[in-house]
């Protein structure tokens, strides 16, 4: 199948990029692929959401109650302070500069705006309130205006990038889940918008399909990554059926006790004054430390502690608007007088593929947009910047893609360029014996939660890296045990496990190199931040011998430096 | 243990069949949780769609005892009958093509 721009991932960043390509070049054709369904998959929909723009633009573009003291520079400063000074400030400049325009556009295309909020870490109200569903409504409306110039291909799992003899990305291979047949795409540009690899972890606020596919396929062809150690976790989430994960746990806010297996309120060890009302990072570290030190419970997902409501009179629970608003009645009734499981859940990847200000990667023909990229957020993402980033990146990468399309003929690919990759798709399906992809996925997730999670140290990370070598060997031999060709979930998982293992290995190796704690990255063997040695970023790549190697380089600082006391 | 019935069908035109499964129904387990259990422990060939698991993506619609519901938002119960949405073209088992609504009601019973 021939197209000009192949976009992998159909939601926020991908859909916005498709629009941008069509606007920039009236002849360019885009194929927008997703292994799920358009506007029914991906992380964008799960966003809450506040979408950040500087507060002056809140007034001028949206007519909402902002604060004119805010400027793009103040906004940048807050992003960098929250990112603990290791953001690439050139990329942050691009973000704050373009944010107002792209957020306004999606509102004009149909996204409902419900107000403005000031979230934690912001000096001024910058969060345009809407929902991920509304963001996609706006983007879908606009995509449809371009008619058949944008081909949306659902149920299409892109597996690998195809590189021509000159080392130029020239297409991709995929499995069409509807037919069970492989597909070869030939394109002038491939744009990755596959999001973070949240499902590498056992618990996440993200959807089912975020298995690091973009990370895996980019890594295999030599793409550079940065800051993979910085993974955001939600503090003490709980399993409020149906597997709901909450960014705030109202039981923790309204007096629930966090208990370990010895029945102790263990937060006394971490913050004896504030206890369960402590900061998010303290809570996450406290909970995970109890699990790691054997005072929590272990299970096939990597462990948990309890949050108890037994001491809370029913009236407290019934009269809490937050609890009532966030949970269904039957769930609330079921927890009264009880304790439930509580654990950290993966929320966001701050790191990812290295992009420049035009969303280009180090590989010609390969662009990347959104959460699959790194650099903007530094060591910790400021609340409300996730959707801002996907919209800005989508808009910019589409313009870059259109320029590349105009300057390149349709690549000529021979069978030799892709037949091995097609064989790789079919191999697990044809194999009669081998490791189960379902069991392998569970093993990766448990390892991730336990040894590459909220609390890290050199021993845990080395153990994880060693175990991942076994897992990668098993992933290469994985077998699909059922023989259905159409919509075969087990086959999909078989094609995902290598990506999951590679993504987790990137996190573990980067985390091992960063011998300090900063933002979302906590090393219990190096619990302090070290600004004299670590105002740096990690960079990761597959070297010529095929080894995963991590190096470091000073952070790009254009405007904001840490003050003495930081 | 509870018994649930799932409508299995290899695709449009193929013969549908109701298959019964024994599943351990945990407290407030969802229909999606039951489908996951069957896929992971009993029959990996079961086809169904899921994404966000929190009622936002609206991709996991199925019919439970004849009524269209989101499988991630619906509590499972002993004896339930789970089938695909009947007004869209079937892909396989519980997966339908939401871009292809059927003009008239499908003649066979999808639960």
- Two tokens, residue A177: 């889940």
Max intra-chain CA distance, chain A: 71
Mean pLDDT on A557-561? 95
Q: What was the pLDDT predicted at A513?
A: 98
Domains located in chain A, CATH noted: 237-346 (3.90.700.10), 421-528 (1.20.58.100)
Question: What is the number of structural domains in chain B?
Answer: 1
Neighbours of A551 (CB within 10 A): 12
CA distance B105 to chain A (A): 23
Distance between CA atoms of residues A122 and A138, nearest Å: 26
Q: Which residue of B has its CA nearest to A137?
A: B57
Give the Å distances, CA to CA, from A303 to A29, A287, A292, A334, B37. 48, 10, 8, 22, 20
Residues of B in contact with A330 (CB under 8 A): 28, 75
Q: What was the pLDDT predicted at A288?
A: 94
Supply the DSSP string of A126-188, one letter for each residue.
-EEE--HHHHHHHHHHHHHHTGGGEEEE-SEEEEEEEE-TTS-EEEEEEEETTTTEEEEEEEE
Closest alpha carbon to A509 in A474, A545, A458, A555: A458
- Two tokens, residue B11: 């695709």
Supply the DSSP string of A294-308, one letter for each residue.
TSSB--TTS-BEEEE
**Are A46 and A132 within 8 A, CB to CB?**
yes
- Per the model's pLDDT, the better-predicted residue between A242 and A106 turns out to be A106
Torsion region of A92: left, alpha or beta (phi above 0 gives left; psi -120 to 50 gives alpha) = alpha
Interface test with A, best of B34, B42, B54 (most A CBs within 10 A): B54
- Per the model's pLDDT, the better-predicted residue between A240 and A129 turns out to be A129
Q: Which residues of A sit within 8 Å Cβ distance of B?
A: 36-37, 40-42, 45-46, 131-133, 154-155, 178, 207-209, 241-245, 330-331, 334, 438, 480-484, 486-490
Question: Per the domain annotation, does B110 fall within a domain?
Answer: no
Relative to beta strand B2-8, strand B17-23 is antiparallel
Question: Per the domain annotation, does B89 fall within a domain?
Answer: yes
B13: Cβ contacts below 8 Å, ≥ 6 apart: none
Model confidence band, residue A564 (pLDDT cutoffs 50, 70, 90)? low
The owner of tokens 């009734």 is A333
Closest alpha carbon to A188 in A206, A209, A168: A168
- pLDDT tens string A285-327: 999 999 999 999 988 888 999 999 999 999 988 888 888 887 8
For residue B19, what are the domain limits? Answer: 2-101
Supply the DSSP string of A4-22, one letter for each residue.
EEEEE--SHHHHHHHHHHH
Question: Per the domain annotation, does B72 fall within a domain?
Answer: yes
Low-confidence winner among A15-19, A326-330, A442-446, A500-504 (lowest mean pLDDT)? A326-330
pLDDT above 70: residue B105: no
Residues of B in contact with A243 (CB under 8 A): 30, 32-33, 53-54, 72
Closest alpha carbon to B18 in B68, B98, B79, B67: B79
**Are A280 and A222 within 8 A, CB to CB?**
no
Cis peptide before A566 (omega within 30 of 0): no
Mean pLDDT on B38-46? 98
Query: CB distance B44–A40 less than 8 Å?
Result: no
Low-confidence winner among A222-226, A437-441, B106-110 (lowest mean pLDDT)? B106-110
Q: From the list B11, B30, B57, which residue is nearest A41 (CB)?
A: B57
Distance between CA atoms of residues B61 and B30, nearest Å: 13
pLDDT above 80: residue A135: yes
Query: CB distance A330–B57 less than 8 Å?
Result: no
- pLDDT tens string A224-278: 999 999 999 988 788 766 566 777 778 887 889 999 999 999 999 999 999 998 8
Task: Please give the distance of CA B47 from its chain centroid, rounded to a whole number.
Answer: 8
Question: Per the domain annotation, does B52 fall within a domain?
Answer: yes
Query: CB distance B33–A242 less than 8 Å?
Result: yes
Question: Per the domain annotation, does B33 fall within a domain?
Answer: yes
Query: CB distance A334–B27 less than 8 Å?
Result: yes
Q: What is the CATH number of the domain that holds B91?
A: 3.10.20.30
């Amino acid at each position: 199948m021939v197209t000009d721009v192949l976009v992998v991932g159909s939601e926020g960043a991908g859909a916005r990029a498709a629009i941008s390509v069509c606007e920039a070049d009236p002849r360019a054709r885009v194929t927008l692929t997703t292994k799920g369904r358009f506007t029914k998959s991906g992380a964008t929909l799960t966003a809450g959401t506040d979408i950040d723009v500087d507060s002056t633009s809140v007034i001028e573009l949206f007519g909402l109650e902002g604060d004119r003291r805010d400027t793009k520079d103040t906004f940048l400063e807050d992003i960098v302070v929250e990112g603990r000074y290791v953001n690439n400030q050139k990329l942050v400049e691009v973000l704050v500069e373009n944010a107002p325009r792209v957020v306004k556009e999606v509102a004009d295309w149909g996204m409902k705006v419900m107000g403005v909020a000031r979230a934690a870490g912001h000096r001024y109200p910058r969060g345009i309130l809407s929902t991920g569903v509304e963001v996609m409504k706006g983007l879908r409306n606009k995509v449809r205006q371009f008619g058949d110039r944008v081909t949306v291909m659902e149920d299409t799992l892109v597996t690998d990038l195809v590189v021509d003899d000159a080392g130029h990305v020239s297409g991709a291979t995929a499995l069409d889940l509807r037919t069970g047949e492989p597909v070869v795409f030939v394109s002038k540009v491939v744009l990755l918008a596959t999001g973070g690899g949240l499902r590498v972890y056992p618990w996440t606020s993200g959807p089912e399909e975020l298995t690091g596919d973009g990370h895996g396929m980019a890594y295999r062809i030599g793409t550079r990554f940065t800051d993979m150690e910085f993974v955001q976790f939600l503090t003490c989430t709980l399993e409020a059926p149906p597997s709901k994960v909450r960014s705030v746990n109202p039981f923790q806010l309204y007096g629930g006790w966090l208990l370990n297996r010895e029945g102790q309120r263990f937060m006394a060890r971490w913050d004896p004054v504030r206890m369960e009302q402590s900061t998010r990072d303290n809570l996450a570290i406290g909970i995970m430390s109890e699990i790691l030190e054997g005072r929590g419970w272990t299970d096939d997902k990597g462990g948990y502690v309890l949050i108890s409501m037994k001491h809370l009179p029913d009236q407290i629970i019934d009269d809490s608007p937050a609890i009532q608003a966030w949970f269904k009645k039957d769930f609330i009734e079921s927890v009264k007088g009880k304790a439930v499981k509580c654990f950290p859940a993966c929320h966001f990847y701050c790191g990812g593929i290295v992009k420049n200000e035009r969303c280009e990667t180090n590989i010609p023909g390969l662009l990347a947009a959104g959460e699959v990229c790194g650099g903007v957020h530094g060591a910790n993402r400021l609340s409300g910047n996730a959707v801002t980033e996907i919209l800005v990146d989508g808009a910019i990468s589409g313009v870059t893609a259109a320029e590349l399309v105009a300057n390149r003929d349709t690549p000529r690919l021979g069978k030799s360029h892709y037949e091995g990759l097609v064989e790789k798709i079919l191999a697990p399906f044809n194999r009669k014996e081998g490791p189960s992809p379902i069991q392998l996925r569970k093993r990766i997730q448990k390892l991730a939660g336990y040894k590459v999670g909220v609390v890290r140290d050199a021993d845990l990370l080395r153990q994880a890296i060693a175990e991942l070598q076994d897992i990668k060997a098993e992933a290469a031999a994985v077998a699909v045990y059922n023989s259905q060709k159409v919509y075969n979930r087990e086959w999909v998982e078989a094609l995902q496990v290598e990506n999951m293992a590679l993504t987790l290995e990137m996190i573990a190796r980067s985390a091992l190199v960063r011998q300090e704690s900063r933002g979302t990255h906590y090393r219990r063997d190096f619990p302090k931040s070290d600004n004299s040695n670590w105002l740096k970023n990690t960079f990761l790549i597959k070297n010529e011998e095929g080894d995963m190697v991590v190096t470091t380089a000073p952070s790009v600082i254009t405007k904001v430096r840490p003050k003495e006391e930081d | 243990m509870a018994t649930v019935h799932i409508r299995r069908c290899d695709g449009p035109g193929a013969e549908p069949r109701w298959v019964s499964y024994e599943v351990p129904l945990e407290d407030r387990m969802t229909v999606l949780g039951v489908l996951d259990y069957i896929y992971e422990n009993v029959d990996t060939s079961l086809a169904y769609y899921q994404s966000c698991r929190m009622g936002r993506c609206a991709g996991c619609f199925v019919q439970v005892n004849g009524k269209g519901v989101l499988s991630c938002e619906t509590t499972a119960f002993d004896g339930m009958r789970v089938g695909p949405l009947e007004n869209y073209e079937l892909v396989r088992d519980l997966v339908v093509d939401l871009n292809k609504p059927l003009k008239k009601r499908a003649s066979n019973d999808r639960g």
